[in-house]
């Protein structure tokens, strides 16, 4: 059996080099990685180690300079812009550090956004959005806009939006960076719950020890290379 | 390929427009003002042109004239023609002809006890001239002519002043008769007319047609037939009909009789197009600038849209939708303002205090706006189509962001 079909993410020899003027700046060098389905993985390392770059490459937001990346058995490094957009829409959810939500839409509309792009009917969208917002503890706040929600509540909306359309993979870049420790812990418990209940694979990039403590697998990067890969069952 | 989620794009576009309501109101006002100026000024210009055309056509031109060959080059008595025969009369009796009259029209000299002046002597059938020319409506002192046998004469006010004569006094009219001898006759001034342009008051004297024919020994000969139709811009069928029933005569539409008016109409259309273009260019700068600002401010948001799987064409569609809403609201507002302006100026704008020379060239100092659907449609189409086209650039900028760069943009 092809290894890529057993894993949500497979990276082989992935390198990324940025160009700043005429200078080549390597961000990732020859990264090899396999993330099984329903894993809960944390990418850690100091600033500039390449964890956000790796997350962006896995999410199809950026392209590798060389190497292969597969998500759900499909080579995303060979996809065009339209195919990548379709992949992100159907199979990948994102939670960013900030600027996560669309400011002119309410919490419910933000959660419905992806489903609306997917062409899900209005009635089904509304039902699923209410259910997931209830699950993340935001019942009664559905019609508030992001500016009327706290940072933790906004991140919960982002999590709800990321998983409502049942993707196989959720990528979260520093999801707790702007949250206090109590809110951050609540958020991570929620993500673990989603991981377990919805069978979704989670990959985080973080500096936060709390996030690392919640992960089942901790991958450490330094200078664009994986220097440690520990499973913490 | 997924279809556009139109309600989503509409919601996003509408709400994004009101994130900066001051800016949105400013651009809406600017766009509406542009549309208002296009439609209103077009109505004023069109109204002025329409008045010039109507005036020129009433000033004896009519919609179509029939002459003997050579009359237009040399309007002398030699180039007379017989009265209309049965076939031509039948054509002139058709419902497509709203009024017609035969005239005697020759060069002449009119003299009072003190002064004389060169004029055109016009012998008319008074009843037939109603609805055909200005004469009956222009008499402001005395009376209009009563019949073709009328022994009296109508004189323009300026000419009466020049001849130092007045209502009730006698003048002598001299012209060349059919036998090449001088024909003359004394007439009593029974009416004085006022009209524009001033040259019409000084260039024409009107008498009964039968009286003129007797004076010139013309028999029943005439110089011209003038006629009116319901629609001055659809003369081709009537011209063909008249040419077929009067093969030896010179049948001409007003467009060939008054080429300057046609030129004025063409120049007016060109000026309106130039005006539309200037206004639109100014408006489009505002529109594109507003949309570009909105796009730059929302760079991270567009990156987020792309990260969430929104295809670039949806992002393009979203910015175009914002432009579409702005344009539609501005067009509605601008047209409403223009309609109110045109309705409010129904009584005309009196420019006589600012442009005393206008009457000299046949332009009325009181301009009545004339709303033309074609002008309004041209202005609206131009703003709508080119406005959307101008919005393509900011929309394209928004759609071509690279997600990872857009999201990390500070």
Query: What confidence score (pLDDT) does residue A1 get?
Result: 41
A185 interface with B at CB cutoff 8 Å:
no
- Closest Cβ–Cβ partner in B8, B307, B312 for A94: B307
Three-state DSSP state, B184: strand
Contact (CB<8Å) B301/A105: no
The domain ranges of chain B are 6-56+261-408, 64-228
Beta-carbon contacts below 8 Å between A and B: 73
- Closest Cβ–Cβ partner in A62, A81, A88 for B308: A88
CA distance A56 to chain B (A): 7
Which chain B residues have a beta carbon less than 8 Å from that of A104? 11-12, 15-16, 19
A90 interface with B at CB cutoff 8 Å:
yes
- Closest Cβ–Cβ partner in B5, B300, B307 for A116: B5
Which chain B residues have a beta carbon less than 8 Å from that of A90? 309
Q: pLDDT tens for residues A212-223?
A: 999 999 999 999
- Closest Cβ–Cβ partner in A86, A96, A119 for B407: A96
- Going by C-alpha positions, the residue among A113, A91, A104 that lies closest to residue A203 is A91
Does position A96 have pLDDT exceeding 90, yes or no? no
Does position A123 have pLDDT exceeding 60, yes or no? yes
Query: What confidence score (pLDDT) does residue B301 get?
Result: 87
- Closest Cβ–Cβ partner in B19, B309, B404 for A104: B19
Residue B400 carries which DSSP code? T
Which chain B residues have a beta carbon less than 8 Å from that of A92? 309
Residue of A nearest to B410 (CA): A99
Query: What confidence score (pLDDT) does residue B346 get?
Result: 85
- Domains recognised in chain A with CATH numbers: 3-231 (3.40.50.300)
Contact (CB<8Å) A86/B309: yes
CA B386 to chain centre: 27
Beta strand pairing status for B64-67 and A74-75? unpaired
Query: What confidence score (pLDDT) does residue B410 get?
Result: 57
CA distance A110 to chain B (A): 11
The pLDDT of A5-33, averaged and rounded, is: 89
Residue of A nearest to B4 (CA): A117
Query: What confidence score (pLDDT) does residue A4 get?
Result: 47
- Closest Cβ–Cβ partner in A88, A102, A105 for B309: A88
Residues in B lying within 8 Å of A, measured between beta carbons: 2-3, 5, 7-8, 11-12, 15-16, 19, 300-301, 304-312, 314, 402-404, 407
Which chain B residues have a beta carbon less than 8 Å from that of A177? none
Instruction: Detail the DSSP E strand segments found in chain A.
Output: 7-20, 23-36, 40-44, 66-71, 74-75, 92-95, 169-173, 201-206, 217-222, 225-231
Q: pLDDT tens for residues A46-66?
A: 988 999 999 999 999 999 999
Query: Does residue A180 contact residue A105 with C-beta atoms inside 8 Å?
Result: no
Query: What confidence score (pLDDT) does residue B261 get?
Result: 87
A147 interface with B at CB cutoff 8 Å:
no
Residue of A nearest to B18 (CA): A104
A141 interface with B at CB cutoff 8 Å:
no
Contact (CB<8Å) A109/B11: yes
Contact (CB<8Å) A85/B312: yes
pLDDT 10s digit of each residue in chain B, 410 long?
Answer: 455 578 888 999 999 999 889 999 999 999 999 999 999 999 998 898 888 888 889 999 999 999 999 999 999 889 999 999 999 999 999 999 999 999 999 999 999 999 999 999 999 999 999 989 999 999 999 999 999 999 999 999 999 999 999 999 999 999 998 888 899 999 999 999 999 888 899 999 999 999 999 999 999 999 999 999 999 989 999 999 999 999 989 999 999 999 988 998 899 889 989 988 999 888 888 888 888 888 888 888 888 898 888 888 888 999 999 999 999 999 999 999 999 999 998 888 887 776 666 666 566 678 888 888 888 998 899 899 988 998 999 999 888 887 877 777 65
Q: Please tell me the distance from the alpha carbon of residue A226 to that of residue A13, in angstroms, as a whole number.
A: 11
In A160-179, the residues whose Cβ lies within 8 Å of chain B are 161
Using CA atoms, how far residue A203 sits from A39, A65, A231, B169, B325, in Å, is 8, 22, 14, 111, 41
- Closest Cβ–Cβ partner in B2, B301, B307 for A119: B2
A18 interface with B at CB cutoff 8 Å:
no
CA distance B295 to chain A (A): 14
Q: Please tell me the distance from the alpha carbon of residue B348 to that of residue B265, in angstroms, as a whole number.
A: 21
Please give the full DSSP string across B249-310, using - where no structure is assigned.
SEEEEHHHH-HHHHHHHHHHHHHHHHHHHHHHHHHHHHHHHHHHHHHHHTHHHHHHHHHTT-
Contact (CB<8Å) B404/A85: no
Tell me the average pLDDT of chain A: 89
Query: What confidence score (pLDDT) does residue B366 get?
Result: 81
- Going by C-alpha positions, the residue among A118, A131, A64, A128 that lies closest to residue A92 is A118
Instruction: Detail the DSSP E strand segments found in B125-223.
Output: 139-142, 152-156, 170-176, 182-193, 204-208
Which chain A residues have a beta carbon less than 8 Å from that of B300? 99
CA distance A233 to chain B (A): 31
Three-state DSSP state, B137: helix
Query: What confidence score (pLDDT) does residue B356 get?
Result: 61
Query: Does residue B279 contact residue B37 with C-beta atoms inside 8 Å?
Result: yes
Query: What confidence score (pLDDT) does residue A5 get?
Result: 53
Query: Does residue A25 contact residue A18 with C-beta atoms inside 8 Å?
Result: yes
- Going by C-alpha positions, the residue among A34, A28, A112 that lies closest to residue B308 is A112
Contact (CB<8Å) A94/B308: yes
């Amino acid at each position: 059996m092809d290894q890529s079909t057993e894993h949500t993410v497979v990276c082989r020899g992935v390198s990324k080099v940025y160009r700043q003027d005429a200078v080549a700046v390597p961000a990732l060098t020859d990264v090899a990685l396999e993330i099984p389905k329903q894993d809960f993985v944390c990418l850690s390392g100091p600033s500039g180690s390449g964890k956000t770059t790796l997350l962006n490459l896995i999410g199809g937001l950026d392209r590798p300079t060389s190497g292969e990346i597969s998500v759900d058995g499909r080579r995303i490094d060979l996809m065009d812009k339209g195919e990548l957009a379709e992949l992100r829409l159907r199979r990948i959810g994102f939670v960013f550090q900030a600027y996560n939500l669309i400011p002119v839409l309410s919490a419910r509309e933000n959660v419905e956004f992806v489903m609306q792009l997917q062409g899900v009917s209005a009635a089904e969208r509304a039902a699923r959005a209410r259910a997931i917002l209830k699950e993340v503890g935001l019942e009664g706040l559905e019609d508030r806009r992001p500016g009327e929600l706290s940072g933790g509540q906004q991140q919960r909306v982002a999590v709800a939006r990321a998983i409502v359309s049942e993707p196989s993979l959720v990528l979260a870049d520093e999801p707790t960076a702007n949250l206090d420790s109590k809110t951050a812990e609540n958020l991570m418990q929620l993500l673990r719950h989603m991981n377990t209940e919805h069978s979704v694979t989670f990959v985080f990039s973080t500096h936060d020890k709390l996030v690392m403590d919640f992960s089942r697998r901790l991958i450490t990067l330094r200078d664009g290379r994986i220097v440690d890969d520990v499973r913490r069952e | 390929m997924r279809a556009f989620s139109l309600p989503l794009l509409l919601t996003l576009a509408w709400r994004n427009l009101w994130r900066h309501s001051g800016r949105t109101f400013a651009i809406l006002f600017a766009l509406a003002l542009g549309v208002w100026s296009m439609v209103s000024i077009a109505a004023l210009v069109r109204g002025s042109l329409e008045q010039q055309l109507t005036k020129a056509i009433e000033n004896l031109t009519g919609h179509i004239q029939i002459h003997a060959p050579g009359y237009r080059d040399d309007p002398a008595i030699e180039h007379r023609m017989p009265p209309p025969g049965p076939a031509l009369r039948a054509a002139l009796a058709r419902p497509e002809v709203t009024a017609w009259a035969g005239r005697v029209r020759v060069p002449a000299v009119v003299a009072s006890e003190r002064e004389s002046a060169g004029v055109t002597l016009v012998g008319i059938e008074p009843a037939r001239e109603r609805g055909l020319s200005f004469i009956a409506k222009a008499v402001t002192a005395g009376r209009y002519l009563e019949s073709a046998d009328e022994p009296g004469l109508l004189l323009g006010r300026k000419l009466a002043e020049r001849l130092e004569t007045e209502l009730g006094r006698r003048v002598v009219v001299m012209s060349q008769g059919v036998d090449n001898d001088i024909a003359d006759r004394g007439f009593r001034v029974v009416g004085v007319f006022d009209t524009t342009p001033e040259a019409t008051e000084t260039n024409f004297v009107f008498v009964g047609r039968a009286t003129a024919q007797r004076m010139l020994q013309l028999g029943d000969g005439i110089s011209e037939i003038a006629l009116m139709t319901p629609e001055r811009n659809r003369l081709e069928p009537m011209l063909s009909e008249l040419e077929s029933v009067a093969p030896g005569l010179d049948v001409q539409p007003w467009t060939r009789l008054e080429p300057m008016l046609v030129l004025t109409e063409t120049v007016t259309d060109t000026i309106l197009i130039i005006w539309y273009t200037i206004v639109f260019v100014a408006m489009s700068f505002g529109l594109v600038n507003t949309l570009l600002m909105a796009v730059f401010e929302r760079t991270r948001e567009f990156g987020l849209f792309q990260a969430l799987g929104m295809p670039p064409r949806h992002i393009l569609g979203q910015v175009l939708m914002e432009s579409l809403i702005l344009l539609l609201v501005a067009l509605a507002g601008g047209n409403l303002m223009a309609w109110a302006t045109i309705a409010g100026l129904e009584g005309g704008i009196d420019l006589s205090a600012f442009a005393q020379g206008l009457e000299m060239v046949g332009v009325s100092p009181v301009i009545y706006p004339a709303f033309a659907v074609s002008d309004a449609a041209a202005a609206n189409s131009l703003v709508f189509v080119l406005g959307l086209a101008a919005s393509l650039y900011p929309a394209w900028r928004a759609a071509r962001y690279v997600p990872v760069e857009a999201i990390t943009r500070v």
